[in-house]
Amino acid sequence: MHNYSTSAAVAVHSDFLSLSHLRRQEFQALLALCADLRSRNSFGEFLQGKSVALVFEKPSVRTRVTFEVAIRQLGGWPIMLGSAESRLGEREPIQDLARNLSCWVEGIVARVYNHHDLEDLALFASIPVINGLSDTDHPCQAVADLLTLMDVWPSWSGKEFVYVGDWNNVSRSLWHACSLAGLRFRAICPEKYAPTQLEPVEWSTKPADVKGADAIYTDVWASMGQEDELQERLEVFRPYQVNEKLIAKTGKHTLFMHCLPAHRGQEVTDSVIESDCSLVFQQAANRLPGEKAILITVLGAGIQAEKAAAKRKPGSQL
């Protein structure tokens, strides 16, 4: 069983850039908080009077909508900065943007091309920074994905999670999440697009190795910024398409997952994504409680300290 106590202390980090920075107990407590928030009709005013900047170099549907809704439902104000204002290091140095935003808002959610730019933003900001997606990690998606699996599996025991396709930011965060949850993870990727030697991931190049998978996850073959590689990738990844024939090779009733947006007819067929084994829209729904939990966890320490200081000094201005 998933023995995740909602009373477990969720460690507060100054930033939320990668799941690799968390300990197992912290991740489990975060999942418990996600489930707790999802069960509530009232969300309180945790971010009452607080503002969070959304610095988005890349376009987004799920990440933008869920963070905007999450911030508003927690009582705060989201402030959207699109690519025209926030191409990091172009309009102005990253350290200047970070310091300016730190004067005005209580947190930053950044969706960027380059993870190093995200790290620089976090380095110079005096407020927490949350990774809404970078070229190396997508931790918010992985939190929603593990929350989705908790809904359908009462235990991880004996379960095998298999990622098929390009080794990218989504698969890397899933690998970290599965490790933290105690869920067996393996990847099936073309050799050129596989985990690096520095990443101790169990992987193979053979699509038939999906045998035994309890869940199969895939993602687009060419991510944003890789459009010029699409034709080459289409040829390389064609044998890795998740279709009914591939699902049948698992030898069991296997769940299907995808972070979306999906290129139907490329990495996955319509028949799979619309089947009763597909969890893609449950994953999308779980982005909202997942991001509420992340906001509360990451922004919590600073806000609670501020409230405590105000109570100690009646009449003081914040």
Catalytic residues: 111, 138, 141, 219, 259, 287
Listed residue (140, 94, 96) closest to 117, CA to CA: 94
Please state the length of the chain.
318
Q: What burial letters (b/e) apply to 139-175, b meaning 16+ CB within 10 Å?
A: bbbbbbbbbbbbeebeebeebbbbbbbbbbbbbbbbb
Read off the tokens for 171. Answer: 């698969």
Rounded distance between C-alpha atoms, residue 104 and residue 52, angstroms: 9
The dihedral over CA atoms of 304, 307, 312, 317, expressed in degrees to the nearest 10, equals 140
Helix (H, G, I), strand (E, B) or coil at 215: strand
C-beta separation of 217 from 145 below 8 A: yes
CA-based Rg of the chain, rounded to a whole angstrom?
A: 20
C-beta separation of 56 from 46 below 8 A: no
User: Could you say which DSSP state residue 48 is in?
Assistant: T
Beta-sheet strands, E only, within the chain: 51-56, 77-81, 107-111, 129-133, 160-164, 184-188, 203-204, 215-218, 255-258
**Alpha helix ranges (H) inside 125-193:** 139-152, 169-181
Q: Which residues make beta-bridge pairs with 203? A: 187
Rounded distance between C-alpha atoms, residue 200 and residue 148, angstroms: 25
